Structure 1
Amino acid sequence: MRLILFFFSVLAFSLTALAQKHDYYWYFGNGAGIEFHSGKPKTLQNSNLFTEEGSASVSDSEGRLLFYTNGVKVWNRQHNLMPNGTGLWGHVSSTQSALIVKKPGSTTLFYIFTIDEKGRQNGLCYSIVDMMKQRQPKETRMKNEALLTPDLLPHLGKGDITIKNKQLLTPVSEKLTAVRHSNGTAIWVIAHKWNSDAFYAYPVTPDGIGKPVISSVGAMHRNESGRNNGEAIGYLKPSHDGKLLASAMCYKPNSPVEIFSFDNATGKVSDLRNIPTSGYAYGLEFSPDNSKLYVSFLKGKSGITQYDLTADDLFDSGTIVATNDANNIFGALQIGPDKKIYVARIGSYLDAINNPDKAGNKCEYQRSAVHLGKRNCVYGMPNMPVLSMERKSELSISASKQTGSEKMKSPALKINLGNDTVLCNYSMRMDAGNPKASYLWSTGQTTRLIAVTKSGQYWVKIEKNGLMAADTINITFKRGGPEIKLKREITAFCKSKVALDCGVKAEKYLWSTSETTREITVSKGGSYSVTVTDNECNSIARTKVIFDGKPSVFSYLPEFEPENPMFNNYFAYTINDVDKFELKIFSGGGKLLFKTDNPNEKWYGKNKSGKIVPKGKYKWEINYKPTCSEKAKKEMGTLGVKRL
């Protein structure tokens, strides 16, 4: 018997995009900034912000700057520190250190949510900025209003923090984002608890911050790598319709990128889908039409990878659109008001993905798309809330039961979930087809693709352009197929061969190499597959093997100002994967000024007696031994010291 839907009445359908200009100003990195009033990014040189990672900025409805923050300090639109604008409990090395959300129903009150780094005790907090504070005298305001001075915002003040560091949750991962509620007014602020698998979604309403909706789903966020809680690092990003969440755990070994469904009516997170990786995923961003997910990797050869979210196999859909190398160390990804995705790259340029809705290399990845002038980007970009809202159709449905395989549906829509089936697999993915339609499954999910793991009857209803269709399918899982435990991608660092193990005891094994044992050893990179047979059921798994020499990379900023109290006041450099290290700084005449064997120790432009050196050019020299090499290396260069 099948349940066939044959009469549909569309009561309402609308797609509402709430036009906003809150994201017209971006401040990030070592004093870097851009703005979008002309429709394309224009470089700014007026920022006083310094951060290695997270920041946030906000503009009014006309795109005029209000204030910005790195999660520790807050600057007003005139780039001066706000009163009480220091000592916030974010961190300059927290992935999403800060997030600014306007209080619903108010035009002058803003929340600054902050996240501490690596699961430390400050956790998730909020502070409140009142933009009616620090106003000009009435006569001055009236004069400015008469002159229509656009950059002075005469009806507002310069802002002051009236409530600071009210703790909501501790400890937490370095993940913080926001999505508009389905009611179009409230906003969900979402974080993830440390040492837990729980998302916390806080409703922000005109009445304030409500109790969180807690969803326990996905991986545990905890220290497993021994990298000082490095698993806390990595972005949490929502899709632009607020229906999906993507999460990256950068230093969790072989951690997948996780994709969840998000219900912006209830705040629940559910329906995990994994994209296997070899680790180091950091930045995330959805394409404007939500059909693609872009992921940046701090290490490895994946660089910037695009995944097709409509594909049956997300891993196989991955296309590398930019590769990592010594000159390209990628960080955050952030979509702009122009619908392009901008890529943080250490140095004085941003890269851009010009057509992110397009598949593969048709997305038009552009190196060095935006020059930041004398300022520099590091790893982070501004953390922006998703304030668009999609209102789905409301349907009135009549139904009847019919026998056999009869189906009634709109002639303009075609949908076929297939015949009733018995499976040996442990899950089945179903596709409702018809891209850009509205979907409703019997499970309550509203995406085109779903995966099911339990026997039963499943139905889906779809609507597109006022037309509707439906189908049902009965699925029975035999549960006899072996569950192969083979990683989808294996990166072998400093090795000449690697063992591939099915991880399951079974009757038969057949590898793509023609070997018939449970475990094989390979010495070449590439794709390998295995078919495992047990209890008359077959299971197939594939893996990609990458032999990576894990080269050590040294990168640095070419100049700095030791006396600058705000940012860029030391020789900033990074180096990875070394066993031995030594850095020396010399004067132009060859005199040794600084020496260290600690890669984390910085040179603040001082000589051995502790005095700041004169401005000019200085020489640096590093000696190091890469982890994967017996041969030591030496590099030299020059850097500039500027004086105020």
Structure 2
Amino acid sequence: MFLLDNQSANPKKVKQILLFATLTLYSVFSFSQGKEANIWYFGVHAGIDFNAGSPPAVLLNGQTNLSSGPNAGSASISDDNGNLLFYSDGTRIWNRNHIIMQNGDNMGYKSTQGAMLVKDPGNIDLYYFFNHNVQLDFQYSVVDMNLDNGMGGVVPSKKNIRLGSNMTMHLSAVRHSNAEDVWVVAHGLGTNLYYSFLVTADSLHTEPLTSSAGGYFTTTTGYMKISPDGQKIGSAVYNGNADFFDLLDFNDNTGHVSDDFYLSIDPFNAFGVEFSSDNTKMYLTGLGTIFQYDLNAGNPQAIVNTQVSISNVTVGNGALQLGPDGKIYFAIQGYYLGVINNPNEAGIACNFDPQGVFLESGFSSVGLPSFIQSYLKDPEFTASQSCFGLPTQLTINNINGIDSVLWQYTVFPNTYTSTLFSPVFLFPNPGNFQVSLTVYSGNLQKTVIQTVTIHPAPVPELGNDTLFCANETINLILDAGPGAQYSWNNNFPTVNSTFVVTETGLYHVRVTDINGCVGRDTINITRYDAATADLTNLNITSPNCGSSDGAITGIQFSATYPFTVTWFNAAGIEVGTGNDLLNVSAGSYAAEVTYGNNCTQTFGPYSIADNNAPVIASALPEDDDHCYQGMGSIIVTPESGSVTDYQYSFNETDFYPLTGEITGLTANTYNITLKDQFGCISLPVSVEVQNVEGPEIYCHPTHATGADNGMITVDSPNTNLTYRLNFGPVQTTNVFTGLASGSYTVYVTDEFGCETQCEVSIENNPGIPLSAMAGDDKKCL
């Protein structure tokens, strides 16, 4: 067992603000999830029964006698059907016949919150009874309902077992996020420590999770509540002029209390605290009134700014307790309970009645029974899916205690209803639908309205069936928005919204958008037959020198009809249309066939030489280019005559005097034609000038050994090189010495001005001193 001994703890400073996230949820009435909280006993022989409906029936058979002072808390528990099992004032336990339970006396000490009763998640007949003793020890006992012929009794070996010492009387409980286990939370005296004990089907975990958060509790008195959704924890510390109230974050998965969100209020006589069933409002008693706070306002200061007094009369201090009908009950000393009738509503619309329930001969003190707060949360439901065109199943998250239901939503002028616990609706269109769920539990009913959003399914449009050009591809492009995934032809989903088609066939896509909605489309893609050129009857007519009476005829082009044929010269200028090209000068010509959906295919080039045109005997590369500096050259030799009798051209349009060697060429492929003094133009000859990159180098570092003695050696198969280190001087040697550790750049330049560089790091690897001993002498080697 882990025993708590509370000492001082370091306070935690509050720095951050956490915004709330809420569901769109509205409530009219409420009932408990299950009926365990349907019967209350408190005060002096006072009691109420919610099994009869709302307002509750008054009970006069209670045995509690809590008449005065702040330590007037109690506890009650019923079974799942609302039948009383037992109740307590913190010192004694009475069974359902209002007789002290077997071994149910001397349980502890009266306290502000009395006791907390928790059903064992693993055994429907066992209950944990948490309370305090007079020494402010926090303790537990186990009640076994099988004892005393089913009336229940406290197990002798599990009675008043101490869990911790020096504790306040603050006590609350809520279900774990797994909806099965239960967190029971207590607080240390003189510290800011919260202790969260976990009750599971296996056992009570006696070593708690300890959290340091909020203010220091310097008194034992005041109420602590966890919100029904298990996300916030509020504590009122009643200490005369030093009162305060803390609102903090609670993690119903880990049991951790944190002041990432921390709201602190300094009211006088802070005592009772409670949350509305929809978790949007918080209520606090102090200064003779009840304050309401809107938890959806945002940061802590914004929430404080929403403070409003909901009572138009002065009321004393007392406990606040959420009831199974969704109303909050207020313990006013006297014969009435105050009632906040609509606690989910803002301001005075919450409708506080200081005389909401007349207790007849029963008398209310300042305490009310404590329950697991999860019993009192609003029911919620979820939608199985939210995509238009598919059936949507609505499921209640917890049906415990629900006898019957009524669902409905309206799309004017029609109203759709169902009495099934988990109905299936086919919503008529995409949009937001206000779905109403009314649940009935005994004589209580509750209506909640949640927004169910039905999203439109994505509609991928691949377009009409189409054809694409030979030797080309086609891109199928979609856009279903951020987060969408695309499965092309049943392949694994990907975020790539473009699919490249290279072959004919039937293509289909499955698109899943960010909401999980699915759309599909298909497209059949075929390819145009490639155009052809039949050269059987090709005839090239050479023009007379300098004239334009040349022709290319006899080619039979074929393509998907309709098609066109356009001729271009070497400069890319259009020079004719149709199958035959007429009236052209010497040169190279290509035919472009256009067909189908702007498909193009080029045939040629076909070259025409003038009659008696010069002939190029040879055209050879002389010099390579070096690192694309324009250092290449070509030697052209005509078949006859002197080179000076000719001009050359690379584009069959612009001609320049030929000297034999053409220089200043960058690496490329050149189509060379010659023109003689009569204007006759030769057939072209193709020559390639290649490029030579910079020198090939290998850099080798020699690391320093504790001094500036590093070295870099550069090896290369090239010759006539110069070397430079960083931006230092140029040298002809390939070694750099006297280098400190660091990073260096080596630049190596060849005789053509082409440069290659390498990055080298010199490390500092100091040598290891070795010693040789000779008598008393030592020498480093």
Report the CA distance shift for 1:272/1:251 in structure 2 as closer, same or farther (over 3 A): farther
Partner of 1:191: 186
Q: Which moved more, 1:81-90 or 1:236-245?
A: 81-90
- Over the residues paired in the alignment, what is the CA RMSD in angstroms? 2.9
Pick from 296, 318, 337 the counterpart of residue 285 of structure 2.
Answer: 296
Match of 1:157 among 142, 151, 160: 151
Amino acid at match of 2:215: A
Counterparts of 1:259-274 in structure 2, within 5 Å, are 259-270=247-258, 271-274=260-263
Q: Does 1:248 align with 2:242?
A: no
Residue 293 of structure 2: aligned partner:
307
Q: 1:48 aligns with which of 63, 67, 79?
A: 63
- Give the greater-gyration-radius structure (CA): 2
Over 3 Å counting, the alpha-carbon distance change for 1:66 and 1:173 in structure 2 is same
The one of 203, 206, 212 equivalent to 2:201 is: 206
Of 119, 123, 128, 1:111 maps to 128
Paired with 2:143 and 2:246, the residues of 1 have a C-alpha distance of 34
2:708 paired residue number? none
| Partner residue of 1:95 out of 88, 101, 112 | 112
RCO (CA 8 Å, sep 6+): is it higher in 1 or 2? 1
Residues 392 and 125 of structure 1, relative CA distance in 2, 3 Å threshold: farther
Task: Quote how far apart the aligned CAs of 1:436 are.
Answer: 9.4
Q: For 2:265, which of 271, 276, 280 is the aligned residue?
A: 276
Structure 1 residue 336: deviation in Å? Answer: 0.9
Label 1:214 to 1:323 Cα distance change in 2 as closer, same or farther (>3 A).
farther
* Alpha-carbon distance in 2 for matches of 1:31, 1:18: 24
Displacement of 1:182 after TM fit?
1.0
Give SS of 2:225's match.
strand
- 1:345 corresponds to which letter in structure 2? I
Determine the C-alpha separation between the residues in 2 that align with 1:48 and 1:56.
12
Match of 1:169 in 2: 164
- The amino acid across from 2:83 in the alignment is R
Give the match for residue 73 of structure 1: 92
Q: Does 1:35 align with 2:49?
A: yes
Normalised by the length of structure 1, the TM-score is: 0.52
1:516 is aligned to none
Alignment of 1:149-548 (within 5 A): 156-162=150-156, 163-210=158-205, 211-222=207-218, 231-251=219-239, 253-270=241-258, 271-297=260-286, 300-301=287-288, 303-312=289-298, 313-322=302-311, 325=314, 328-387=315-374
For the pair 1:22 / 2:36, whether they are aligned, the reply is yes
Aligned residue type for 2:282 = L
Structure 1 residue 254 displacement after superposition: 5.0
Q: Which amino acid counterpart does residue 79 of structure 1 have in structure 2?
A: H
1:245-280 deviations in Å (ceiling 9; x for gaps): 011111164544211111111110112422423331
Contact 2:269–2:317, Cα closer than 8 Å, also in 1: no
Identify if the C-alpha distance between structure 1 residues 24 and 392 changes in structure 2 by more than 3 Å, giving closer, same or farther.
closer
The CA distance in 2 between the partners of 1:436 and 1:203, in whole Å, is: 34
Asked if the contact 2:143/2:155 (under 8 Å) is kept, the reply is yes
Question: Which residue is equivalent to 1:63?
Answer: 82
Q: For 2:349, what is the secondary structure of its paired residue?
A: helix
Call closer, same or farther: CA 1:467–1:365 in 2, change over 3 Å: farther
Equivalent of 1:128 in 120, 130, 142? 142
Q: Is the 8 A contact 1:124 1:167 kept in 2?
A: yes
Equivalent residue letter for 2:324: P
Question: How much identity, in percent, do the aligned residues show?
Answer: 36
Question: What is the CA–CA distance in structure 2 between the aligned matches of 1:333 and 1:75, rounded to whole Å?
Answer: 23
Q: Relative to 1, partners in 2 of residues 1:197 and 1:391: Cα closer, same or farther, differing over 3 Å? A: farther
Q: Distance in 1 between matches of 2:77 and 2:101?
A: 15
Distance (Å, rounded) in 2 between the aligned partners of 1:329 and 1:18: 28
Q: Tell me if structure 2 keeps the 8 A contact 1:54–1:96.
A: yes
Extract unaligned runs of 5+ from structure 1. 1-16, 136-155, 223-230, 395-410, 414-434, 438-460, 469-644
Q: CA distance change for structure 1 residues 90 and 219 in 2, over 3 Å: closer, same or farther?
A: same
Question: Which residue pairs with 2:563 in the alignment?
Answer: none
What displacement does 1:305 show? 0.8
SS at match of 2:279: coil
Which residue does the alignment assign to 1:560? none
Q: Count residues with an aligned counterpart.
A: 352
Superimposed CA distance per residue, residues 295-340 of structure 1 (whole angstroms, 9 cap, x where no aligned partner): 112xx35x11111111141221011011563xx3230011111101
- SS of 1:232's equivalent in the other structure is coil
Q: Distance in 2 between matches of 1:273 and 1:379?
A: 27
The residue that corresponds to 1:83 in the other structure is 102
Q: Distance in 2 between matches of 1:200 and 1:24?
A: 28
Q: Measure how far apart 1:105 and its partner are.
A: 1.2
C-alpha distance in 2, partners of 1:113/1:70?
12
Distance 1:467 1:49, change over 3 A: farther
Helix, strand or coil at the partner of 1:80 = coil
Q: One-letter code of the match for 1:195? A: G
Equivalent residues of 2:120, 2:126 under 8 A apart: yes
